[in-house]
Amino acid sequence: MRVLSGVQSNGKLHLGNYLGAMKQHIELQRENECFYFIANYHSLTTVQDAKLLRQLTVDVALDYLAFGLDPNKANLFRQSDIPEVTELAWILSTVTGKGLLERATSYKDKIAKEIAPSMGLFCYPVLMAADILIYKSDMVPVGKDQTQHVEMAADMAGHFNHAFGCEILKLPKLRLNEAHVVPGLDGQKMSKSYGNTINLFDPPKKVRKQIMGIKTDSTPVEDPKNPETCNVFAIYKLLANADEVAALDEKYRGGGMGYGEAKQQLFEVAERVLGPARERRGELEADTDYVEDVLNTAAGRARAVAGEVMAEVREVCGLMVGKGTHRG
């Protein structure tokens, strides 16, 4: 099965990114053909500093490799290394109704957060559809907040196929990540835009400080507490094993434990996950040639697939390309 997903290079990746996407991406590489792109085109809607964008793009690659992405099993590449994606995005835009884009809840949410309402932000779903459809993806693992975009990609594929009387573009199926929503320090969804994150590769002392700052209620130490409404426990159960979760659940309900103790346990289990990856990332940072080779090799594989799809798309659209013109 061919799996496709992407991650924006618009800031430091955090625990919500790991639990909401990265963990599943790495698990899926065991039995699937995986294409994972670093969405630097998408990131231009919020990052317009060339040096910063280049660094953030490398950072995403380092993060994925540090957590165990195997370049021999999964293709990790830069979105900008596949020019066919933007070509397909334009073609999709010619068969996509403006009303479909106006219904995008993500666009409305970002405007509400006072992000500039650029055409790039408005047309984000079209580019995302091209990302998905250019590889004839079977499955797209996403968080709950991205389900509409995958459904819109399927709509656009259907519009294209109907308009040109073909079945070239494959309608993708979404797969919801196990961790639908990872709470941040304030209880809202963990997000860079909310400033409520636990960053993956901050030093242990800083990670502990972030965890100790998680918002809790004012229940006294001696009283029982409800783990089902606690942000600390919500994150803990996504990181710990079943026995550990059951034991902490019992402590919550039995009383006599303060939230500080629960936060310390969360820090310890988080370090069990983050510590080895942090060490591996340090090694990778010292071998930039290796990281660049991983990205370039995967881009070559991805572009070979994208080139075949675009050749079919151009043919049914009647788009002629001169013999001396280099295309994928």
Q: In what order do the strands lie in the sheet with 173-176?
A: 74-78, 33-39, 2-8, 139-142, 173-176
Residue with tokens 């540090």: 66
What is the rounded average pLDDT of the residues 225-244? 95
Specify the pTM.
0.90
Residues 6 or more apart whose Cβ sits within 8 Å of residue 50: none
Q: Which has the closest alpha carbon to 223: 258, 265, 247? A: 258
Question: So what's the pLDDT on residue 326?
Answer: 57
Rg for the chain, CA atoms, rounded: 22
Active site residues: 110, 189, 192
Query: Domains along the chain?
Result: 2-182+288-317 (3.40.50.620), 201-283 (1.10.240.10)
- Rounded Cα–Cα distance for residues 41 and 53 (Å): 10
- Rounded Cα–Cα distance for residues 222 and 201 (Å): 35
The overall average pLDDT reported for the chain is 92
pLDDT band at 324 (very low <50, low <70, confident <90, very high): low
Residues 6 or more apart whose Cβ sits within 8 Å of residue 11: 56, 192
Strands (E), 124-183: 139-142, 173-176
Whether 179 has a pLDDT exceeding 70, the answer reads: no
pLDDT band at 115 (very low <50, low <70, confident <90, very high): confident
Q: Which has the closest alpha carbon to 128: 216, 202, 41? A: 41
- Rounded Cα–Cα distance for residues 127 and 156 (Å): 11
Whether 146 has a pLDDT exceeding 90, the answer reads: no
Is the Cβ–Cβ distance between 211 and 198 less than 8 Å?
yes
Is the Cβ–Cβ distance between 40 and 307 less than 8 Å?
no
What is the rounded average pLDDT of the residues 215-225? 95
Q: Residues 302-317: pLDDT tens digits?
A: 999 999 999 999 999 9
- Rounded Cα–Cα distance for residues 69 and 177 (Å): 17
